[in-house]
Amino acid sequence: MILGRTERGRFPVEPVTLKILVAGGFGVGKTTLVGAVSEIRPLRTEELLTEAGRPVDDTTGVEGKHTTTVAMDFGRITLREDLTLYLFGTPGQERFWFMWDELSEGALGAVVLVDTRRLEDCFAAVDYFERRAIPFLIAVNCFEGAARHPADQVRRALDLDDDVPLLMCDARDRRSVRDVLVGLVEHAMSRTADRRHPVTT
């Protein structure tokens, strides 16, 4: 047996784990996205919305929503045998934003989930990751019954830099969500490589 090889003749695979954030406005589908793709039973910290919270929780456009994430959602997906993503869904309401700093510690990048019916709800997340130079992409959650807008229109409305990816997705569909996560990992890795090897003129 050659040193370092497995019995089948392959070198052992060194597993890599990456931390990914899922952010966005209140009721945009973050909990749904994590649950759709997680290979383990997702950890959820949802509580019922109460009358006491209505003055501070804007439910306009999501009147049918009865629960809210108060800490985080957590899930896991293995993209390859040597690559596992840990997903952390952030709380959407402003009163829980103080948790974002802790959740973002050590994150490779973030998915900012967007509902085009309430586009302004994602501005805070976009601003947060831009200011901290954390790689992110925009995932437009294509809700049933919502108008479809061309990607370039959404990009202009969000005033995104040209290098920020924008993808359409269905937060309920595992394959769709997986494609978004793969896109984020590729984008973040490319950003990291660019910083390590800047182009000189």
Neighbours of 174 (CB within 10 A): 15
28 part of a folded domain: yes
145 part of a folded domain: yes
1 part of a folded domain: no
10 part of a folded domain: no
When pLDDT is averaged across residues 24-49 and rounded to a whole number, the result is: 83
Give the pLDDT band (50/70/90) at residue 26. confident
Q: What percent of the chain stands above pLDDT 90?
A: 57
> Does residue 182 surpass a pLDDT of 90?
yes
Q: What is the pLDDT of residue 156?
A: 95
> Does residue 55 surpass a pLDDT of 60?
no
165 part of a folded domain: yes
Q: What is the pLDDT of residue 151?
A: 93
The total of structural domains in the chain comes to: 1
CATH number at residue 71: 3.40.50.300
Give the domain extent around 141.
Answer: 17-196
Q: How far is CA 132 from CA 49, 85, 135, in A?
A: 31, 21, 9
201 part of a folded domain: no
161 part of a folded domain: yes
Q: What is the pLDDT of residue 1?
A: 38
pTM (predicted TM-score): 0.79
> Does residue 50 surpass a pLDDT of 50?
no
Q: What is the pLDDT of residue 11?
A: 62
Three-state SS for 31-91 is HHHHHHHCCCCCEEEEEECCHHHCCCCCCCCCCCCCEEEEEEEEEEEEEECCEEEEEEECC
39 part of a folded domain: yes
